[in-house]
Amino acid sequence: MITVTINGKEIKLEKPVTVLEAARSAGIKIPTLCYHEQLEKYGGCRLCLVEVEKMPRLQTACTLMAADGMVVRTETEAIADVRRGVLEFLLINHPLDCPYCDKAGECELQDLVEKYGPTTGRFKEKKRKAPESLEDPVLVRNMERCVVCTRCVRMCEGVQGAAAIGVINRGGHSHVEPFSGGRFECEYCGNCVSACPVGAIMSRLHRHSYRPWQLVSETETICPYCGVGCTLVAQVRDDVIKRVVPRIGTPVNNGLLCSRGRFGYEFVGSKERLTTPLIKKNGVLEQSTWEEAIGFVARRLGELKTRYGGDAIAGIASPRCTNEDNYVFQKFMRVALGTNNIDSTARTGYAGAQAFIENIFGQGATANLIPGLANADAVLIAGGDPTAVNPILGLQIRSCARKGGNILTIGHVKGVRHYNPAELKPNVHTEAALLEGVVTALKEKKGLPGSIQTLESKIKEIHRPLDDAARTCGVTEKDLAAFVEALSTASTPALVIGKEVIQSAGGSYNLLLLSAVAYLVNARIHLLSERANEQGVVDMGCAPDLLPGCRPLSYVEFRRRYEAAWKSPIPEKQGMTIFDMIDAAKAGSLRALYVMGENPVFNLPNAKGVEAALRGLELLVVQDIFMTETARMADVVFPALSWAEREGTFTNMERRLQLLRKAVNREGMEDWRIVVEVAGNMGVRMHFSSAEDIFAEITRVSPLHRDLSYEELEKSGIYPYKGEPLRGVTGDIAVAKPAAGDGGGLFLGIERPLFHSGTLSRRAPGLVKIYETAVARISPATAAARSLKEGDMVRVSSVIGYLELPVAVDFAVRDALVMITNNFEGRGALSLMELVLDPVLRAPVADKTAVTIEKAGR
């Protein structure tokens, strides 16, 4: 126990802290500027100088560790003089432009001067001038206001790990700049904006359109973009979100956001939002009323069900919708339409991979805490760049590296390139051979633990000596051996699996091998998730073989229990996956498709094929917030409320359940309410009047969600559940090995950029300004071999179509790949991709589409 005396008050400290922290714990305020609780100590601003007995000089409270018996004074005449003096120094070159500075009202300098500062200035010379920089599309830099506290730089380098900005020059000429001096060209997390205590780095979104004190409401909710589930605070004026900020202390992201979270919110207020229900009349979507549209859909579904049976109808749920939406939707499909034809785009990778892994290790195997990654001593990354797909998770990996952890990557992972990763870059389509080598070596080094027999029998079959693996994959044996050594000596390793290894030829085999690695070194598994509620949509039973709580439909005792709860029979027959639905539509056996918050024409491979298949439907119903490619084809379109306009819950990739709160008001209906209305019109009453009602039912029905409540969620997200995980339902491990490699040529790759997510992000002007258009990303070697340079327009063709795009030459791209994003309208990578499914995972194989690239317009 350490006892210090501050201003005569005795403070007892359990653990060593700084004098500043000790003072704050006792409610004693010491002014600071360069101090920031998330950043390394700096001691530069000198505002927190205090008197300490027996120390001749004044001490900075933010750096001085409180020692037992220390006597500190923070409020003396001398200290008041120091504060006044320091603030005077900070003001001599400050422009004092508070009237039009967006920071005024929440500016730390302004507040400090008001409290401690001088009232008149004695500086008679001209102030330093630095024109405000508007060169960047989303960030504005005003170096006249900068107090050189370096919080932004420390945030960027030490926390975000991007090191995109730095202090340039020295002394009085010090100022903060990105490398280019103009555009930031960074990860655009905007965490520098959060860190800045003054108006030196600010967001340009809604610049000069509000004063901080006019942001009348503040709503803490969950980010709508990826599966990390960051808590964000939407600040609102006149029912418009003016900005989104993070909050320190929130469970997953603790004061940090990424570009999508911070700058991607503007889609909510987009003029392109759908406003009224639409019904197709004579081939044209026309404005309608809710009553008419709901009545029409209910009637048509009823007719089709009667004529063809429920199994001629299918529903696509959404990893962007809430648990409540998805729960109601699958219940509607099962109860009102009597079919298990319900699935989502989680099928394209996440759902199958998770099922595969849980089949081996048990339910919850991938539900590991994201911040835990920072404490791993080794992180193996396979199948993508976590810093782009799940940026806040990526930060934990960087944090791990900073603490001395080993970062191991299969393939080049751009986002960790500054962290000295051990990198193995196997030739295209040889990942499995590489992993076989790793598993073989680990098996020899570590031995088999003997706990999971099904897996061990598979491991025993794997045999590929290191030299053979190295030769096959085009890596050196030395690098491979070092890689294995680093893995085998780690005591708290983690494995991060991205979609690229899942969506690849032999995806199930890759997963088996990765599971074997995780098993042999006892690694925690993190499965990257691109959508905010990808886990939730699965957990809610939006899958043809699962009931809510991930209970297999095939187990009759489960089905009985749900039938009792729902007071309705549940069909025994397993439903169609999303891909089966497309096939069935094409074949004519599927007559109607109800799509909630999804855009299959854009988000599934072979877009044209999907479009053609859907054209044959007798009824296509779409609920969405925008007129998507799929909505355009619909017979009825319902405008839904967006994420910001309602309550509900999301389940993140850790299986943390978190509450969404309504940030802005808008007329209209939540997705679940539309479904409830349609059901009601079909004579199936679902007695829900709020999301909370639905949640209450979920907690009664799903054993996984037992005993939870919104009341509890109000306080913070819930992790882990108190409910029962499914145990003992593991079966044989089925895998499909990939065929031999295809040799040379170019293949299509899906770029998953940090700045986009698809339908939402392309309506977020902030994100579009950062990443404006689709490009064909190729390696320098690919470019050189075809005499292509940055910006050249090229035609990228596959057997099913082509796209014309500008070239971007990128050293991070592998030589055999052409990387294209699937985010921009009419230019999605999936429109080129042939639909081939992994027979086990039922997920598409994304790396087998051969493409050619040539100069366009010749």
Partner 1 sequence: MFSEAAVREIQEIRAKYPTARAALLPAIYVAQREFGWLTPEAYEAVSDLLGVPRAIARGVGTFYAMYRQKPMGRHVVQLCTNVSCMILGAERLVDFLKSRFGLEPGGTTQDGRFSLVIMECIGACGTAPAMLVNDDFYENLTEKSIEEILGKYR
Partner 2 sequence: MEKVLLKNIENPHSADIDEYKKAGGYRSLSKALDMASKDIIEEVKKAGLRGRGGAGFPVAMKWTFASGDPKFPKYLLCNADEGEPGTFKDRPILEKNPHLLIEGMVISGYALGAEYGYIYLRGEYPAAKDILNKAISQAYENGYLGDGILGKKTRFHLAVHQGAGAYICGEETALIESLEGDKGQPRIKPPFPVNVGVFSKPTVVNNVETLANLPYLIGIGGEAYARIGSPECPGPKIYCVSGHVERPGVYELPMGTSLKDIIYTHCGGIKGGKKLKAVIPGGISTPVLPPEKIDCPMDFVNMPKHGSMLGSGAVIVMDETVCLVKVCYRALKFFEHESCGKCTPCREGTGWLRSILGRIESGEGMEGDVDLLLSVAGNIIGKTFCPLGDGAASVTQNFIKHFRPEFEAHIKNKGCGARQEKL
Q: How far apart are CA 88 and CA 109, in angstroms?
A: 11
Of residues 173, 460, 615, 632, which one binds partner 2 by CB under 8 A? Answer: 173
The single residue among 117, 137, 178, 507 that binds partner 1, judged by CB under 8 A, is 178
Closer CB to partner 1, 176 or 257, in the complex: 176
Instruction: Look up residue 219 and give its DSSP letter.
Output: E
Question: What mask, x for binding partner 2 by CB under 8 A, covers residues 636 to 655?
Answer: --------------------
The amino acid occupying position 774 is A
* Residue 142 or 368 with smaller CB distance to partner 2: 142
* Partner whose binding site includes residue 275, from partner 1, partner 2, none (CB under 5 to 8 Å by kind): none
692, with CB counted inside 10 A (0-12, 13-18, 19+), is middle
Alpha-carbon distance values, 698 to 95, 258, 366, 492, 708 (Å): 57, 31, 22, 35, 9
Closest Cα to residue 606, out of 833, 809, 811? 833
From partner 1, partner 2, none, interface partner of 219 (C-beta below 5 to 8 A by class): none
Least separation, in Å, of the C-beta of 741 and partner 1?
Answer: 31
- The residue from 14, 125, 238, 711 that contacts partner 2 (CB under 8 A) is 125
Selected range binding partner 2 among 86-94, 424-432, 479-487, 834-842, rule: CB under 8 A: 86-94
In whole angstroms, the minimum distance from the beta carbon of 46 to partner 2 comes to 5
Binding test (CB under 8 A) with partner 1, winner from 65, 78, 96, 163: 163
Shortest reach from residue 165's CB to partner 1, in Å? 6
Do 472 and 424 contact (CB within 8 A), yes or no?
Answer: no
- Minimum Å gap between C-beta 29 and partner 2 is 19
Interface with partner 1 (CB under 8 A), residue from 168, 422, 565, 696: 168
Region binding partner 2 by CB under 8 A among candidate stretches 57-65, 224-232, 496-504, 706-714: 57-65
Both tokens of residue 388? 């782009």
- Is residue 58 close enough to count as binding partner 2 by CB under 8 A? yes
Place of tokens 């806040």: 392
164 binds, among partner 1, partner 2, none (CB under 5 to 8 A by kind): partner 1
* Residue closer to partner 1 (CB basis): 130 or 793: 130
Positions 834 through 853 that interact with partner 1 (CB under 8 A) = none
Residue among 8, 99, 131, 171 that touches partner 2 (CB under 8 A): 171
163 binds, among partner 1, partner 2, none (CB under 5 to 8 A by kind): partner 1
DSSP 337-405: S----EE-GGGGTHHHHHHHHHHHH-TTTT---SGGGGG-SEEEEESS-HHHHSHHHHHHHHHHHHTT-
Window of 96-104, 106-114, 177-185, 345-353 that interacts with partner 1 by CB under 8 A: 177-185
Interface stretch with partner 2, choices 85-93, 326-334, 519-527, 615-623 (CB under 8 A)? 85-93
Beta-bridge partners for 809? 778
Cα 367 from Cα 75, distance rounded (Å):
49
For position 404 contacting partner 1 by CB under 8 A, the verdict is: no
Strands 776-778 and 636-639: unpaired
| Beta-bridge partners for 636 | 279, 621
- Binder of partner 1 out of 1, 56, 125, 169 (CB under 8 A): 169
Binding at 104: pick from partner 1, partner 2, none (beta carbon under 5-8 Å per type) = none
C-alpha of 360 from chain center = 26
Say which entry of partner 1, partner 2, none residue 46 contacts (CB below 5 to 8 A, set by partner kind).
partner 2
- Closest approach, Cβ 153 to partner 1, in A, equals 8
Rule CB under 8 A: choose which of 7, 44, 427, 666 binds partner 2.
44
Q: Which residue in 2, 13, 167, 422 binds partner 1 (CB under 8 A)?
A: 167
Which residues neighbour 108 within 8 Å (Cβ) at sequence distance 6 or greater? 33, 197, 198
- Asked whether position 90 contacts partner 2 by CB under 8 A, the answer is yes
Residue 371 near which of partner 2, partner 1, none (CB within 5-8 Å, type-dependent) = none
Q: Which residue in 344, 326, 280, 332 sits closest to 301, CA to CA?
A: 332
Cα separation, 757 vs 272, whole angstroms? 17
Q: What angle do CA 209, 213, 214 make, to 5 degrees?
A: 50
Q: How far is the CB of 60 from partner 2 (least distance, A)?
A: 8
Nearest CB to partner 1, comparing residues 495 and 813: 813
Sheet holding 378-382, edge to edge: 422-424, 406-410, 378-382, 493-497, 524-527
Which residues, numbered 243-302, are part of the site for partner 1 (CB under 8 A)? none
Residue 158, CA distances (Å) to 141, 425, 718, 721 in order = 20, 28, 29, 33
- DSSP assignments along 42-102, one per residue: ---S-TTEEEETT-SS-EETTTPBP-TT-EEE-SSHHHHHHHHHHHHHHHHT----GGG-T
User: Which of 157, 385, 530, 654 lies at the binding interface for partner 1 (CB under 8 A)?
Assistant: 157
Rounded Cα distance, 452 and 168, in Å: 56
Does position 41 bind partner 2 by CB under 8 A? yes
Judged by CB, which is closer to partner 2: 92, or 800?
Answer: 92
Q: Nearer Cβ to partner 1, position 214 or 420?
A: 420
Q: Give the H or E element holding residue 290.
A: helix 290-308
- Who contacts 324 (Cβ-Cβ below 8 Å, separation ≥6)? 648, 649, 670, 672, 691, 694, 695, 698
d(CA 562, CA 703): 11
Q: Which partner from the list partner 1, partner 2, none does 63 bind, CB cut-off 5 to 8 Å by kind?
A: partner 2
CB neighbour list of residue 460: distance below 8 Å, 6 or more residues apart: 448
Is 49 a binding residue for partner 2 by CB under 8 A? The answer is yes
CB of 79 to partner 2, least distance (A): 11
177 binds partner 1 (CB under 8 A): yes
Contact 517, 440 (CB under 8 A): no
Give the amino acid at 75.
Answer: E
Is residue 88 a contact residue for partner 2 (CB under 8 A)?
yes
**417 to 436, contacts with partner 1 by CB under 8 A?**
417-418, 420
For residues 766 and 205, is the Cβ–Cβ distance under 8 A?
Answer: yes
Describe the crossing of helices 350-361 and 507-521 by its angle, rounded to 10 degrees. Answer: 40
Which one, 162 or 818, has the nearer CB to partner 1?
162
User: Which spans of this chain sit near partner 2 (rule: CB under 8 A)?
Assistant: 41-47, 49, 57-58, 63, 81-82, 85-86, 88-90, 92-93, 122-125, 147-148, 167, 169-174
User: Which spans of this chain sit near partner 1 (rule: CB under 8 A)?
Assistant: 153, 157, 162-170, 177-180, 417-418, 420
